[in-house]
Amino acid sequence: MSDSAGYFDEMRGFGDGARAPYGQYAAWFGQEDPKGLMKEAKEAEDFFRRTGITFNVYGQAEAEERLIPFDIVPRIISGKEWARLTKGIEQRVRAINAFLYDIYHRQEILRAGRVPVDLIARNEAFLPMMIGVEPPGGIYTHIVGIDLVRTGEDEFFVLEDNARTPSGVSYMLENRETMLQMFPELFSQIKVRPVSQYPISLRNSLAAAMPPDASPDQTVAVLTPGIHNSAYFEHAFLADQMGVELVDGTDLKVIDGRIAMRTTRGYKPIDVVYRRIDDDFLDPMNFNPDSLLGVPGIFDVYRAGRITIANAPGTGISDDKAIYSYMPDIVEFYTGEKAILQNVPTWRCSEPEALAYVLDNLADLVVKEVHGSGGYGMLVGPAASKKELAAFRAKLEAKPGGYIAQPTLALSTVPILTKAGLAPRHVDLRPFALFSPNGVDITPGGLTRVALKKGSLVVNSSQGGGTKDTWVLEDD
C-alpha cells in the first residue's frame, strides 16, 4: 500500500491502520488465505463471463465485446458519510429538474443573469421543441447518476451529472449479487444496506410519473437501440428485472394518438418508455430524419401528454459540462440554499482569461470536451506526452468553447486484490437517484469504478477501468 502516499486511502486513511468503516472487513481479510482469494476473484470473472455481463467498445472491431473487470475488495462507506451524500444528491437532483422546467418555460435564471443566455441558446443539447411542454408529473429527470470523487475524510466533490441516459446500474446490482454468492459469511458479519430493491423502485418510480390518461395496465417498456449498443446488456437486464418488455423502434408505432407496442396478440398501448436512445435518434419525424432506431411520431404523442418518456427529451442541457460549472449557482437559485456537494473547480475555456490560464498550465490540468463522455475526448495533462499536449493545445485554440478544464485532483484510493496483495487504485462513485412525483429515492451505494492501472485517474470501462461492489453500512 506504500504507493498511495499523498492520496487518501479509504481503507487506511493516510496511515496503516484500517479506518472505522473497514474495521470488520480488514479483520476478516487478515484471516483469509491470499491464494484462496485470488481463486475467488477468478471465479467471479468466470461468473461474469457466463452471465454475459459485457460491454461493447466502439471502433474496435477486433475486440468489440469486453468483460468489465470486477475487483472483489469492496468499497465501504459509513452510514454517516452516506447520510451527508444523500442530502447533497437529493438537493442537486431537485435543482436539476427545476432548472430544466425553468429553461423550457419562463427562463427566470437567464433573466436573473445567473446563467448566460448564449450558453443555452447555442447549446446543441438544448431542444427548442421542448419549450412549453409539460412532462407528466413535472418530471424531466426520472433517473440521474451523479458522479462523485473523494479527496479526503470529509471531502467529496461532484465530478459530473448524468441526466440523459445514465448507465451502469446493472453492474451495481450484479456486483452485489456476485459478492453475496461468494462471501455470504461476510454479509452475516457486516450489516450492509441492500441494493436489490432498485428494479422494483425504478418500476414504481416510473409508474408514479404516468400520463394523466394512462391505461389501467400502466404499461412500461424499455426502448433500446439494439444489440450492438454498448449498454445492451443493461437494457435487457433492467427490463427483465422490472418485469417489463424490452423493445426497439420497430416494435412501436403510433395508433389512435397513443404509442403501442407489438405483441403476439396485436398492438398494446404503453404508458411509459424508459428510453436508452439519444434525443437525436428518438423520432425521425421530429429530429434526425435518418434515424432507424427511434419511433416516428413519438415526440408528438409526448407533447400531447399521452406518454411519459424517461428521461425527458432535452435533459442533456443539464449535464452539459459547460452548464456543470454553473451548478452551484443553479442549486442556490432554485433551492435557496448553498450546494451541499461542491463542484470541482472549473475553468470555462470559452472565457479568454480562463483559456489563457489553461494553455499556460495544460500539463497540470484535466481538459474535457463539453459534450464528451466515457473518458473520450479528454486530456489528463500530467499523464500526457509532449506530442499529446501540443495536439490538444491546437484543439483548444481552434475551438475553446468546446472545452472546460479542471485541476488534477488527488482522488481517493481503494485497495484492489493483486497477486502481490492489496494495492491502491483511484476510484469514483456513481450513485443512482430516482425522481418521481413521490420524491427522490437514492439506492444506498452505487457503482464504484476503479482505475486498474497503477497511477491512472481514468476509471471508465472503455478506457481500461473496472468496478467494485459498494457497501453502505447499516450501523451508523
Q: Note whether 286 and 226 are same-domain residues.
A: yes
Cα Rg for the chain, rounded, in angstroms? 22
The number of folded domains in the chain is 2
For the four alpha carbons of 315, 56, 157 and 203, in that order, the dihedral sign comes to positive
Q: Does 253 reside within a domain?
A: yes
How sure is the predictor about 52, in pLDDT bands with cuts at 50, 70 and 90? Answer: low
- State which of 379, 408, 437 marks the end of a domain: 408
Look over the chain and give the mean of its residue pLDDT values, rounded to a whole number: 91
Listed residue (395, 397, 368, 370) closest to 380, CA to CA: 368
pLDDT of residue 2: 39
Between 230 and 391, residue with greater pLDDT: 391
- Asked if 290 and 216 sit in the same domain, the reply is yes
Measured between alpha carbons, how far is 171 from 386 in angstroms, rounded to an integer?
36
The C-alpha cell at 112 is 436573473
Task: Kindly state whether residues 295 and 349 are assigned to the same domain.
Answer: no
Q: How many residues does the chain have?
A: 476
CATH assignment of the domain containing 229 = 3.40.50.11290
What is the mean predicted confidence (pLDDT) over 129-153?
96
The three cell numbers of residue 183 are 462471501
pLDDT, tens digit (0-9, with 9 covering 90-100), for 297-354 = 999 999 999 999 999 999 999 988 889 999 999 999 999 999 999 999 999 999 999 9
Question: 274 has which bridge partners?
Answer: 222, 310
- Which of 223, 266, 228 lies closest to 248 in space, CA to CA? 223
Last residue of a domain, one of 248, 277, 306: 306
**What pLDDT is attached to residue 44?**
86
15-27 burial by CB neighbour count: b if 16+ within 10 A, else e? eeebbebbebbbe
- How many Cβ atoms from other residues are within 10 Å of residue 84's Cβ? 14
Q: 3-class SS at 166?
A: coil
Residue 354 lies in a domain: yes
- Candidate from 49-58, 71-80, 370-379, 445-454 with smallest mean pLDDT: 49-58
Please compute the mean of the pLDDT values over residues 7-26 and round it to a whole number.
Answer: 90
Q: What is the pLDDT of residue 28?
A: 95
The domain that holds 365 is classified in CATH as 3.30.1490.270
349 and 295 belong to one structural domain: no
Q: Looking at the domain assignment, is residue 362 inside a domain? A: yes
Q: What percent of the chain has pLDDT over 70?
A: 94
| 351 within a domain of the structure (yes/no) | yes
Whether 435 is covered by a domain: the verdict is: no
pLDDT higher than 90, residue 211: yes
269 near 215, Cβ under 8 Å?
yes
Q: In this predicted structure, what is the pLDDT of residue 374? A: 54
Of 56-65, 409-418, 425-434, minimum mean pLDDT range? 56-65
pLDDT class of 68 with cuts at 50, 70, 90:
confident
Q: Which domain holds residue 402?
A: 345-408
Phi and psi (nearest 5°) for 381? -50, -50
Question: Cell match 447499516: residue?
Answer: 474
Per the domain annotation, does 246 fall within a domain?
A: yes
Share of the chain above pLDDT 90, in %: 76
pLDDT digits (tens, 9 = 90+) for 433-468: 999 999 999 999 999 999 988 888 778 776 678 999
Mean local confidence (pLDDT), 407-436: 94
More confident residue, 231 or 447: 447
Dmax over CA atoms of the chain, in Å, equals 67
How far is CA 362 from its chain centroid?
A: 27
**What mean pLDDT comes out for the span 380-403?**
92
Mean pLDDT of 21-25: 95
Q: What is the pLDDT of residue 3?
A: 47
Q: Judging by beta carbons within 10 Å of its beta carbon (0-12, 13-18, 19+), is residue 233 exposed, middle or buried?
A: buried
Mean of pLDDT values over 398-415 = 92
CA 310 to chain centre: 15
pLDDT of residue 410: 87
Tell me how far CA of residue 280 lies from CA of 125, 286, 379, in angstroms.
10, 9, 27
Cα distances from 387 to residues 274, 360, 392, in angstroms, run 43, 16, 9
Q: Do residues 224 and 293 both lie within one domain?
A: yes
Quick check: 138 pLDDT over 70?
yes
Write out the three cell numbers for 303: 407533447
85 Cβ contact partners less than 8 Å away, ≥ 6 residues apart: 77, 148, 156, 341, 431
Q: What is the pLDDT of residue 255?
A: 97
For the segment 79-105, the average pLDDT, to the nearest whole number, is 97
On whether residue 445 sits in a domain, the answer given is: no
Cell 404509442 locates to 259
Confirm whether 328 is domain-assigned.
no
Which residue carries 412500461 as its cell?
220
Are 285 and 297 in contact by the 8 Å Cβ rule? The answer is yes
What pTM does this model have? 0.92
Domain end: 374, 408, 442, which one? 408
Q: Is the peptide bond before 438 cis (omega within 30 degrees of 0)?
A: no
